[in-house]
Amino acid sequence: MRVKNIAIIGGGTAGWLAANHLAVELRAEQDITITVIESPEIGIIGVGEGTVPHIRKSLMKFGISEADLLATCDTTFKVGIKFVDWMAAGPSGSENFYYHPFSSPYPGGIDTSSLYLQQAETTEFATVTEVPGLAEAMKAPKKIESPPFEGPVNYAYHFNAVKFGQLLAKNAVQKLRVKHKLATIIDACLNEKGEVDYLLTQEGERLHYDFYVDCTGFNSLLLGKLYQVPFVDKSAQILTDTALAVQIATEPACDIPPYTLAKAHQAGWLWDIPLTNRRGVGFVYASAHMTQEQALKGLAAHLGMDAERLSPRRIPMKIGYREKFWCKNVVALGLAQGFVEPLEATSIFVTDLAADLFARNFSVDKSGMSVAADYCNKVISYTWERVMDFVQLHYCISDRRDSDFWRLNTMEPKLSDVLAERLAMWKFNAPKKSDFFSRFDLFDVENFLFVLYGMKYKTIKKNMTQAELQAFTRELQNVRNTESVLAKELIGHREWIDGFLAAYKSMRPA
């Protein structure tokens, strides 16, 4: 009745995140073996290059140093997302933008939304933080002397997803006793209890394990194909379904923006993610509202290149999630479990959370599996639903009406009951912490505030006492003072990265 052998099918970010989480949680169980089975023939998507600050907690849990991450994965810092053109163009056709920073919108612990609503026409909500000014100045979020995983400005990372998977693999194998096997799994067979009995390789080998983690990407070999767990289709909420992705080399001395650029267009948006040596750029669109040829021209226009010179990778996106992510002796993670377009760096975030949840609730006694599975399935279904809500929010509250895509998103949106209720409430009262009653709302009041008021959502103004007005104004002035000090103390993002890489190299033996 004891689990002793665990197989993780598929490498990449999902597989190796699962391996590290499981190995840390089970490190005291000396008789348990964890094996990652990776196909030498099947590649990985490799475009999940943006993260949120939560990833720092996982890296510390795994024992991966920030220095190694920065030095081996073409890593740069990310203080938030800059959203461009998600609102209607001004009278002159001018570009509009807002920031979703990782810093708190509660300066000094005070909710300043009432003061913002008094000045909404002339104030950008994100300026309740220090981030927009520092980001526009291309400043690094850390000082040279900042300790690992710390800095005066909250941050996450951009990195090469393939190299990040390799870093996770090295850590799991060398530090956490995880085994690595190269084989292409083509099928699996069930036993009389309906559990997976063994895997079948392309070469005809049968591989027997006690528990299986399905990280086979969109293929979803075990959860989708073998168990046929229903897919909850969310394409009616999120209309984008295709991406064209390219990598563009950059000059060694160019500035590195410390943010992800998310720029809207007539049928979706594009991402532009800066690494140390290149940019990862993806053009996300709804194929019902734009042809691939039009998308390619839009991508080329953004890059200032001829469309004929581009050979982007086309990535079809099936938006939704499996009804259950834990079935019998199988758990699915990453794309095998679910997917939503990459707005707000949701993919690695959900994968990391699900892997951590699974590892912490994993029982080495098989009799404890069903209870854990029922609980975890409820959690992950809730998580996916709320993530879908947050992504859809960016579209449905826009005032753009310049194409069928935007008119459909804004005038006839198919909202979940939860999002519809929240948006109705927020017409009368600004979002507050008690509106988000679950810790599995991965995006909570702080995130919603930045997007809602970055996009000028109309909430009725509230009267304020003179004392409130003075307290709020004082806190905002403190933010400006902090920003002014940091603008002098923090060096440029490129300068910080180059200086770090030179120092790291000098400390390593030739």
Q: pLDDT tens digit string along 77-87?
A: 999 999 999 99
Nearest of 272, 277, 274 to residue 251 by alpha carbon? 277
pLDDT at res. 94: 66
What are the pLDDT digits (tens) for 399-425? Answer: 999 999 999 999 999 999 999 999 999
In sequence order, which ranges of 176-317 are alpha helices (DSSP H)? 292-303
Nearby residues of 347 by Cβ (< 8 Å), 6 or more positions away: 48, 334, 335, 339, 340
pLDDT of residue 40: 85
DSSP 27-80: TT-TT-EEEEEE-SS--------B--THHHHHHHHHT--HHHHHHHTT-EEE-E
Residues 6+ away with beta carbon under 8 Å from 443: 344, 386, 387, 390
Give me the mean pLDDT over the 289-310 stretch.
96
Mean pLDDT, residues 203-226: 95
Nearest to 49 by CA among 176, 158, 163, 212: 158
Distance of CA 303 to the CA centre of its chain: 24
Mind listing the pLDDT tens digit for each residue in 87-145?
998 766 667 999 999 999 999 999 999 999 999 988 999 999 999 999 999 999 999 99
Which pLDDT value is given to residue 44? Answer: 65
The sign of the torsion formed by the CA atoms of 122, 125, 129, 131 equals negative
What is the pLDDT, as a whole number, of residue 366? 84
* Helix (H) / strand (E) containing 501: helix 493-507
* Structure-token pair, residue 81: 């997302």
CA dist., res. 135 & res. 155, Å (int): 11
Q: Please give the pLDDT value at position 367.
A: 83
Residues 6+ apart with CB under 8 A from 17: 58, 168, 333, 334, 348, 351, 352, 355
- 134: part of which helix (H) or strand (E)? helix 131-136
Q: Are 369 and 363 in contact (CB under 8 A)?
A: yes
DSSP H or E segment with residue 246: strand 242-249
DSSP-derived 3-state class of residue 148: coil
* Strands in 175-241 per DSSP E: 179-182, 185-190, 196-201, 206-208, 211-214, 231-233
Kindly state the average pLDDT of the residues 325-336.
Answer: 95
pLDDT-derived band at 339 (thresholds 50, 70, 90) equals: very high
Q: Among candidates 42, 75, 279, 54, which has minimal Cα distance to 164? A: 75
Give the predicted TM-score (pTM) of the model: 0.95
State whether residue 287 is helix, strand or coil: coil
CA–CA separation, 18 and 351 (whole Å): 8
The greatest distance separating any two alpha carbons of the chain, rounded to the nearest whole angstrom, comes to 77
Residue 437's pLDDT band (cuts 50, 70, 90): confident
Asked if 199 and 209 touch (Cβ cutoff 8 Å), the reply is yes
Encoded tokens for 418: 């939860």
Measured from the Cβ of residue 401, the count of other Cβ atoms closer than 10 Å reads: 12
Strands, sheet with 338-339, edge to edge from the N-terminal-most edge strand: 231-233, 320-322, 338-339
The pLDDT value given to residue 46:
56
Residue 220 zone, left/alpha/beta (φ > 0; ψ -120 to 50; rest): left
Q: Which residue has the tokens 């039009």?
A: 294
